[in-house]
Amino acid sequence: MPESSKSSTELRPATKANPPPARPDITQAVREGLRRAFLENAALKFVALVLALTVFVLVQSDENDLYYPWVRVTYSQMPDRVLTSKRVDQVQLSVRGTRRRIKRLQKQRLENIHIDLVPLSSGDLRIEPSMFDLPDGIELVSVNPPSIYLEFDDKVEKMLPVQVDTLGVPARGFKLGSLVAGPTEVRVSGGRKALAELSAVTTKKINLTGRTQSFKGEVPIIEDGFEVIGNEEVSVNIQIIEELEARQLEAKTVAILAPEGLPDESARFVVEPASATVTMYGPVHALEAIDTEKVRVYVELSARDLAGDQAHEVELHVDPMLSDIAYKIEPSHAQLMPRPKSPAPSPAPSPAPSPAPAKGAQP
């Protein structure tokens, strides 16, 4: 075989294939990216963050916002007229401004608006924006209410009695005894029509709930559609007294008592009627403290009663006798008489004799 042919048929050793490229570590790549994002040029990034926040705050603070403050309303006095319509003491505003200006306004107190009533006549008074002293950059949107109704009447004066008003009741067993105010009359001023319909002025309510003792004090007069000329308070003197009650007991048997130092011969006598009723009058708490079972009605024998043997009238008494309790006994007197002597027993009849047997009779 030719040599060329031999060489062409010789086997060549196999060459080793290149290995596939290694897969990148994703977690490591993420960590590296975050590290570069936060740590590379950290100073510049921090400055950029601060500038971004500053711009955001400025943009937000320049946005408009609404605020609803309250403003008090005051009125001037008039020499010959009075305002008889209901006073509006405050109005609510709706204002607009940037958030920075609104925030500053919330820390302030808006000045009152003052209404001069002297040149005005009855009717609606419109609330104008010029009445309010608002800071620069604050816009008035609306006022609630937008107007105030005014009605006037001629001013007059009148003397009226003082009526003291009370609330509640004293404690059990007590009641209001008297109530005196000083002065009893006061001079007031107001509209002619309102005062013509007014017959008295009343005070603030005085609480009597649970009271057991009298007391004094000063109490203001309630001004409703008028003004008190001079002192707006009156002195009051309130007397709390104990409440009295009547209580009737069940009929009591009349006892007969021998006086001290004399022999007890009560068994020799009887009274007619043998019972009596007792009615007690006094403070409620004193009556409630009495044990009615221990109350007794009695007559007390005297030496004259013991020496006599004739019926006669005697006075009934009650025991115990308390100083703050009044008693009424019905009847107030009774007849005291010797106890009737029991009749002597009749002798028993002797038995009748037996009849004699007849002659010839068999025994």
Sole residue written with tokens 């027993």: 345
Average pLDDT over every residue of 344-350:
59
Q: Token pair for residue 269?
A: 């006598």
Using CB atoms within 10 A of its CB, is residue 173 exposed (0-12), middle (13-18) or buried (19+)?
A: middle
Question: What pLDDT is attached to residue 26?
Answer: 76
Q: What domains lie within the chain, and their CATH numbers?
A: 64-150 (2.170.120.30), 155-242 (2.170.120.40), 245-338 (2.170.120.30)
Q: Token pair for residue 161?
A: 């009695």
Question: What pLDDT is attached to residue 341?
Answer: 73
Contact 318, 329 (CB under 8 A): yes
* Residue 212 in this model has a pLDDT that exceeds 50: yes
How many whole angstroms separate alpha carbon 124 and alpha carbon 85? Answer: 11
* 144-193 tens-digit pLDDT: 999 999 999 999 999 999 999 999 999 999 999 999 999 999 999 999 99
* 64-78 tens-digit pLDDT: 899 999 999 999 999
* 214-262 tens-digit pLDDT: 999 999 999 988 999 999 999 999 999 999 999 999 899 999 998 777 6
In a 3-state reduction of DSSP, which class is residue 38?
A: helix
How many whole angstroms separate alpha carbon 276 and alpha carbon 328? Answer: 10
Question: Which residues does 184 contact at the CB level (< 8 Å), separation at least 6?
Answer: 161, 162
* 192-206 tens-digit pLDDT: 999 999 999 999 999
Q: How far is CA 162 from CA 136, 169, 181, 196, 311, in A?
A: 53, 21, 7, 16, 65
Alpha helices in 132-258 (DSSP H): 192-196
Question: What pLDDT is attached to residue 25?
Answer: 65
Average pLDDT over every residue of 86-100:
94
The number of beta carbons lying within 10 Å of the beta carbon of residue 143 is 20
Question: What pLDDT is attached to residue 20?
Answer: 56
Question: What pLDDT is attached to residue 38?
Answer: 67
* Better-scored residue on pLDDT, 40 or 323: 323
* 258-301 tens-digit pLDDT: 877 767 788 889 999 999 999 999 999 889 889 999 999 999 88
How many whole angstroms separate alpha carbon 284 and alpha carbon 296? Answer: 20
How many whole angstroms separate alpha carbon 258 and alpha carbon 363? Answer: 70
* 26-65 tens-digit pLDDT: 777 767 766 676 667 667 767 777 776 665 655 555 688 9
Question: What pLDDT is attached to residue 62?
Answer: 65
Question: What pLDDT is attached to residue 21?
Answer: 57
Q: Token pair for residue 347?
A: 């002798």
Q: Token pair for residue 257?
A: 């008592």
Question: What pLDDT is attached to residue 10?
Answer: 47
Question: What pLDDT is attached to residue 31?
Answer: 73
- Which of 50-64, 129-143, 296-310 is most confident? 129-143
Question: What pLDDT is attached to residue 23?
Answer: 57
Residue 159 identity = M
Question: What pLDDT is attached to residue 236?
Answer: 96
- Residues in the chain, total: 363
